[in-house]
């Protein structure tokens, strides 16, 4: 089955991408293999018709595009967006805590972590390290410990009889991971980084570790599950699933249209950063491609942006958390996300276009609207729409347990979304209504 093979690639991508830096590294490798050329933002760009390019900022945000042979002012650019970051726990700058013979690591919460599932997991550490080498040069390198090296043990139920009724988690006190059992005199976390770097990269001639961004992650591999393998489970489905689907759709597109994929970091913390969707990266790259602001505005008016980020499937144990008319089901196709208050950017025009696209390509499609008495989340769709002025819609694969350390989706839905995005890139004429 096509989606079986597709999911093999998706699960491998999730496994090799414990942080946004690793995700972008994985995406870079796939783009290079597919003949895309990496652009250096410090140099002049000479973009050729039919050329396939990408640029990376901060190692964690990426824009890849095909400069189509079709006149871009006529056909616009078919754009897809997603985000590379996921909620997680990050090691603090001075993390070393010694208590009862344990060496623990102080951690900071990144984004809206669903914290309870982080207990009793076999955790590893990955991220990037900034260092000075023996020649006095400043460098950075990605590091992944791979093996489980930390754990946040639960408190036994015998020591908290009310645990099943009323346990709440204090983010400063209760989630400090145990890193190792060690003497007071044993080295610091920084010392561990130094020895790990020397072991993994003997060639870098490390002098000093200057700083780091290291995240904890679950070492349990992404997997298929369900009696008939109907589901997939993994960390970071939000939103590496959409990054992977968008990437495959772009890499596989061979027609004459101009197409683009942007995957931003920092969505989970509001997107306001140099490399977030609120920052200038997409605008800058479009400007360099198209030449001037007027050209950019012309092209924006004939383009369409599909923001892909996971949706909430209706959970059989909590059906009343959804509006009874808008409960997306797993394995029933991508979800168009709508919100009258513009927390999602979809409107009649852009959602109508997507429905038609799905209908023509035999992809089932669903709708999500939050219950009217509950607050609605948001994503990069409205942010990109307001930054670039491009017509936008928000879609996503329905999932369970969003922001848990292990999320779940239907096994059919990633491929459905791929088919829809592929059809979007291949769509003849100007995407959207005229």
Of 402 and 420, CB closest to Zn ion? 402
What is the C-alpha separation between 141 and 85, in angstroms, rounded? Answer: 18
Non-local (6+) Cβ contacts of 294 within 8 A are none
**Residue 350 φ then ψ, to 5°:** -75, -40
What is the C-alpha separation between 221 and 192, in angstroms, rounded? Answer: 25
C-alpha gyration radius of the chain: 22
CB 204 within 8 A of CB 133: yes
Of 213 and 309, CB closest to Zn ion? 309
Task: Give min distance, CB of 20 to Zn ion, in A.
Answer: 12
Span interacting with Zn ion, options 64-72, 189-197, 308-316, 352-360, rule CB under 5 A: 308-316
Of 258 and 307, CB closest to Zn ion? 307
Task: Give min distance, CB of 85 to Zn ion, in A.
Answer: 8
Task: Give min distance, CB of 167 to Zn ion, in A.
Answer: 27
Task: Give min distance, CB of 132 to Zn ion, in A.
Answer: 36
| The pair of three-digit structure tokens given for residue 415, joined into one six-digit string | 């491929």
Q: Does 238 bind Zn ion (CB under 5 A)?
A: yes
Of 238 and 265, CB closest to Zn ion? 238
3-state SS, 105-167, equals EEEEEECCCCCHHHCCCCEEEEEEEEEEECCCCEEEEEEECCCCCEECCCCCHHHCCCHHHHC
Judged on CB neighbours under 10 Å (0-12, 13-18, 19+), 279 is buried
DSSP string, 196-231: HHHHH-GGG-EEEEEEEEEEEEE-SPPEEESTTS-E
The total number of residues written for the chain in this structure: 434
What is the C-alpha separation between 8 and 43, in angstroms, rounded? Answer: 37
Number of residues near Zn ion (by CB under 5 A): 3
Task: Give min distance, CB of 266 to Zn ion, in A.
Answer: 11
Judged on CB neighbours under 10 Å (0-12, 13-18, 19+), 305 is buried
Span interacting with Zn ion, options 74-82, 186-194, 305-313, 370-378, rule CB under 5 A: 305-313
Task: Give min distance, CB of 156 to Zn ion, in A.
Answer: 34
Among 239, 248, 399, 422, binds Zn ion (CB under 5 A): 239
Give buried/exposed letters for 179-209 (b at 16+ CB in 10 A, else e): beeeeeeeeebbebbbebbeeeeeeeebeeb
Q: Does 407 bind Zn ion (CB under 5 A)?
A: no
CB 387 within 8 A of CB 276: no
Of 87 and 127, CB closest to Zn ion? 87
Task: Give min distance, CB of 237 to Zn ion, in A.
Answer: 9
Q: Does 265 bind Zn ion (CB under 5 A)?
A: no
Among 218, 309, 394, 413, binds Zn ion (CB under 5 A): 309
Span interacting with Zn ion, options 68-76, 112-120, 239-247, 418-426, rule CB under 5 A: 239-247
Q: Which of residues 367-396 bind Zn ion (CB under 5 A)?
A: none
Of 265 and 309, CB closest to Zn ion? 309
Of 144 and 268, CB closest to Zn ion? 268
Span interacting with Zn ion, options 126-134, 198-206, 223-231, 234-242, rule CB under 5 A: 234-242
Task: Give min distance, CB of 83 to Zn ion, in A.
Answer: 6
Task: Give min distance, CB of 403 to Zn ion, in A.
Answer: 8
Of 272 and 297, CB closest to Zn ion? 272
| The pair of three-digit structure tokens given for residue 292, joined into one six-digit string | 């001037």
Of 238 and 394, CB closest to Zn ion? 238
Task: Give min distance, CB of 86 to Zn ion, in A.
Answer: 8
Of 275 and 296, CB closest to Zn ion? 275
- Which residues sit at the interface with Zn ion, rule CB under 5 A? 238-239, 309
């Amino acid at each position: 089955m096509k989606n079986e093979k597709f999911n093999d690639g998706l699960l491998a991508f999730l496994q090799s991408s414990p942080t946004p830096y690793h995700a972008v590294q994985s995406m870079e490798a796939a783009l290079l293999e597919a003949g895309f050329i990496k652009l250096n933002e410090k140099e002049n760009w000479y973009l050729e018709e039919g050329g396939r390019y990408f640029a990376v900022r901060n190692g964690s945000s990426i824009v890849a595009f095909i400069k189509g042979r079709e006149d871009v002012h006529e056909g616009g650019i078919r754009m897809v967006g997603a985000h590379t970051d996921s909620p997680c726990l990050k090691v603090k700058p001075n993390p070393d805590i010694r208590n009862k013979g344990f060496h623990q690591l102080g951690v900071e919460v990144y984004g809206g972590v669903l914290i309870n599932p982080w207990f009793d997991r076999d955790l590893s550490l990955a991220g990037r390290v900034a260092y000075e080498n023996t020649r006095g040069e400043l460098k950075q390198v990605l590091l992944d410990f791979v093996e489980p090296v930390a754990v946040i043990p639960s408190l036994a139920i015998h020591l908290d009889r009310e645990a099943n009724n009323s346990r709440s988690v204090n983010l400063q006190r209760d989630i400090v991971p145990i890193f190792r059992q060690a003497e007071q005199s044993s080295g610091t976390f920084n010392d561990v980084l130094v020895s790990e770097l020397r072991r993994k990269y003997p060639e870098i001639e490390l002098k000093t570790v200057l700083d780091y961004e290291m995240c904890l992650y679950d070492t349990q591999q992404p997997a298929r599950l369900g009696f008939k393998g109907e589901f997939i489970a993994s960390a970071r489905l939000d939103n590496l699933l959409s990054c992977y689907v968008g990437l495959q759709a772009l890499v596989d597109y061979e027609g004459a249209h101009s197409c683009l994929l942007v995957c931003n970091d920092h969505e989970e913390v509001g997107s306001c950063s140099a490399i977030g969707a609120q920052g200038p990266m997409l605008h800058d790259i479009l400007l360099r491609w198209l030449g001037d602001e007027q050209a950019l505005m012309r092209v924006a008016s004939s383009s369409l942006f599909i923001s892909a980020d996971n949706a909430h499937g209706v959970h059989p144990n909590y059906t009343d958390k959804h509006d009874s008319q808008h409960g997306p089901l797993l394995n029933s196709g991508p979800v168009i996300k709508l919100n009258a208050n513009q927390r999602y950017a979809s409107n009649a025009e852009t959602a109508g276009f997507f429905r038609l696209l799905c209908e023509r390509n035999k992809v089932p499609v669903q709708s999500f609207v939050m219950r009217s008495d509950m607050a609605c989340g948001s994503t990069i769709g409205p942010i990109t729409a307001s930054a670039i002025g491009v017509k936008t819609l928000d879609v996503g694969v329905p999932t369970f347990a969003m922001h848990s350390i292990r999320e779940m989706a239907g096994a059919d839905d990633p491929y459905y979304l791929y088919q829809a995005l592929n059809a979007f890139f291949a769509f003849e004429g100007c995407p959207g209504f005229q």
